[in-house]
Amino acid sequence: MSIVYLNGEYLPMQEAKISPMDRGFLFGDGIYEVIPSYDGKLVGFAPHIQRLNEGLQLIGINCSREQQEWREICEQLIEKNDGLNLGIYLHISRGADTKRFHAYPEDLPATVYAFAFEIPAASIADKSKAKTYKVSTTEDLRWQRCNIKSTALLGNVMHFQHGFSRGYNETILFNNNNEMTEGSACNAYIVKNGMVITPPLDNQILPGITRFMLLDILSRHSSIKVEERIVTMDEVFNADEVWLTSSSKEIAPVVEIDGSPVGNGKIGDLWLAAQTLYSAHKADY
Ligand code: PDD
């Protein structure tokens, strides 16, 4: 049975009740995080909580807690739920009001909800064992504040569905200048001539924690060169390798885009090098 956390209590998921007047439900007015754990150990906990706090501050939700309190919730959920590899979903909404009114209400206690869910086993840096991804592409029609990890995800949901309904694993998005932004639920990269290239952090993409960790690991522990710059879709279609990253995928190799192979259609050597380094060092975060 799944045990969840709601506003200070641990209880079976079926007993967790949230008001239909909650602004998370009515407006998607909240911030969320997904933190992966493998064998009970959280990965990237501190940067995830930092991004959570930044998101709360950006949208003016007052829910200040010590990092240790968040850790306690995550660890309790890992302990109370079965599963070797669990993602911890944390959701903080602006709270349940008595009326539906757009302005931020004052002094409304935030709703804090968290649950654990199974995620795939950690990626193994082995080309013969890695899950390969086939993706579609579509224009990024989300809002202008994609750097905020908002619970209002209809744009992401519709973009994911674009690929999913066509039999693809993900959807890579591009803006109206034909520049890659990110995936519907992940960051995106190309590899060209031995260089890893990914769009810079701005309002068009989420500052992924896996992205932060990967770039930090590559710069500290390898001579692999990374460029953070605009990537055109022409470059995506002509890349040697394409990768996606997220907390539940780690580094995912893309082998097909819109029905055409990426490079030679096989997992690339730089993916192997990067995933090997990521597997070796992710526990440092
Ligand atoms: N998705 N970009 C978007 C739009 C995302 O939704 C995500 C994560 C990422 C990668 O961020 P991170 O490396 O911090 O997981 C990038 C999560 C996992 C989700 O919505 O389930």
> 64 pLDDT exceeds 90?
no
Domains of the chain in sequence order: 3-118 (3.30.470.10), 133-284 (3.20.10.10)
What are the strands of the beta sheet with 111-118, ordered from one edge? 9-12, 3-6, 111-118, 85-93, 30-38, 41-42
Question: What digits encode the pLDDT tens for the residues 77-107?
Answer: 999 998 889 999 999 999 999 999 999 999 9
Which of 141, 172, 246 to probe ligand 1 with, by most ligand atoms within 8 A of CB? 246
Long-range CB pairs of 62-67, under 8 A, 24+ apart, other chains included: 62/110, 63/92, 63/110, 63/112
> 200 pLDDT exceeds 70?
yes
Helix/strand/coil for 11: strand
Distance from residue 99's CA to the centre of ligand 1 (Å): 32
pLDDT of residue 84: 87
The string of DSSP codes covering 214-254 is HHHHHHHH---EEEES--BHHHHHT-SEEEEEETTTEEEEE
Cβ neighbors of 194 (< 8 A, separation 6 or more) are 224, 225, 270
pLDDT-derived band at 30, boundaries 50, 70, 90: very high
> 76 pLDDT exceeds 80?
yes
pLDDT of residue 93: 98
Would you say the CB of residue 34 lies under 6 angstroms from ligand 1?
Answer: yes
Cβ neighbors of 114 (< 8 A, separation 6 or more) are 4, 5, 6, 73, 74, 77, 88, 89, 90, 91
Q: What is the pTM of this model?
A: 0.98
Q: Whose CA is nearest to atom 19 of ligand 1?
A: 185
Nearest ligand 1 atom to alpha carbon 213: 13
Would you say the CB of residue 187 lies under 6 angstroms from ligand 1?
Answer: yes
Distance from residue 221's CA to the centre of ligand 1 (Å): 24
Rounded Cα–Cα distance for residues 282 and 268 (Å): 21
Nearest ligand 1 atom to alpha carbon 89: 21
> 1 pLDDT exceeds 70?
no
Would you say the CB of residue 173 lies under 6 angstroms from ligand 1?
Answer: no
Question: What digits encode the pLDDT tens for the residues 143-172?
Answer: 999 999 999 999 999 999 999 999 999 999
DSSP 121: P
> 193 pLDDT exceeds 70?
yes
Would you say the CB of residue 246 lies under 6 angstroms from ligand 1?
Answer: yes
- Kindly state the helix (H) or strand (E) to which residue 170 belongs, with its residue range: strand 170-174
Cα 213 from chain centre: 13
Mean pLDDT of 194-218: 98
Mean pLDDT of 183-194: 98
Distance from residue 55's CA to the centre of ligand 1 (Å): 14
Would you say the CB of residue 208 lies under 6 angstroms from ligand 1?
Answer: yes
Catalogue the active-site residues: 149
Q: Whose CA is nearest to atom 20 of ligand 1?
A: 185
